Structure 1
Amino acid sequence: MKKLHLLRTHLINAVPGLARDPDRLLTFVEEGSIEFHRGPNLSHEYQFAAQLVLTDFSEDLDTVMLPLLQWIADYQPDVDPGEAISFEAEIHNNKSVDLALRLRLTERVIARVDCETGSIQVEHALPHFASNECMATHWQLSTRGPGEQDWTLTSEWDAPDG
């Protein structure tokens, strides 16, 4: 599940609180399955729900959501936008929550079988569908709340490039 590792790395690099303490990002795989075809071909696809839990999260929700949406656009562009992400939050106090994000991921595995030598070469296909609309490689997120005049820089990150 290399795709989940890529996502984790991207969020740690993009979200300031996770960059300071990456152990606050827990990752789980739920409802995993493998799609394959009968026969000598061992290529397959992992299909699973990834759950990411951000513990004691006190930042603006957008500091997580925007890098996550950007990553999904690049690495899982075929996902149904209406079903791409769900979340739950346990509110601890006025300053922090435990935030659980859930998204469906797929990861194609190409297995090349050589019957003569008895060897199998495995490659995880992680296509990167970078949007040509925005060529920026570094991003800054600024936010402002209701009634606020000024924008506040809340996060910076490099575009997901795999």
Structure 2
Amino acid sequence: MIKLQALRQHLLNAVPDLKRGPEKLLTFVQDGGIAFARGQHLSHEYRVDAQIIVTDYRCSLDTLMIPLLQWLSRYQPDLDPDEAVRLEAEILSNNAWDLALTVRLTERVIALVDCDAGTISAEHRMPAYPIEACPALSWSLNVKGPGDADYQPASQWESPNDG
């Protein structure tokens, strides 16, 4: 799944805790299926529940969630906002936890059949949808917790790109 690989790379680039320890990020396809039409037409769509596991996470949840939501807004904008991301957590200590995020991803594959040549050409599609009319390419996340006087810098990353 090209989308899951792209999402994984975006999180590794955007989340400071994962930049320092990429081995903390595990990705799986938990459940899925393939939608297709019968016949000679071989185009199809992968539909999977991608599970993103982050172990021993020691940062604000926002430093993970905001880059994730930004990526989803660009590459999977058709998700139901109320059901887009499911979250589970195990508290390891006062400053560390294991997180499990589940996200539904779809990936379209166009398969063109040429019967005369005996070839099938498959192309994975990952269209990027504009998030909004915002020209920024680099982002800084500042977080203010309860009781904090000011925002504190938490993360920096580049906008998700086309793959």
TM-score under structure 1 length normalisation: 0.98
Misfit runs of 4+, over 3 Å: none
Which position in structure 2 is the counterpart of 1:8? 8
C-alpha displacement at 1:132, in angstroms?
Answer: 3.2
Task: Give distance in 2, aligned partners of 1:63 and 1:27.
Answer: 18
Which position in structure 2 is the counterpart of 1:30? 30
Are residues 1:99 and 2:99 paired?
A: yes
Task: Give distance in 1, aligned partners of 2:38 and 2:3.
Answer: 25
Task: Give distance in 2, aligned partners of 1:157 and 1:13.
Answer: 6
Which position in structure 2 is the counterpart of 1:42? 42
C-alpha displacement at 1:29, in angstroms?
Answer: 0.3
Task: Give distance in 1, aligned partners of 2:147 and 2:17.
Answer: 25
TM-score under structure 2 length normalisation: 0.97
Which position in structure 2 is the counterpart of 1:136? 136
The CA RMSD over aligned residues, in Å, is: 0.8
Identical positions, percent: 53
User: Once structures 1 and 2 are overlaid, which stretch shifts more, 111-120 or 62-71?
Assistant: 111-120
SS at match of 2:112: strand
C-alpha displacement at 1:133, in angstroms?
Answer: 2.4
Give ranges in structure 2 of 5+ residues lacking alignment.
none
Which position in structure 2 is the counterpart of 1:66? 66
- The number of residues matched between the two structures is 162
SS at match of 2:5: helix
C-alpha displacement at 1:131, in angstroms?
Answer: 2.1
Which position in structure 2 is the counterpart of 1:109? 109
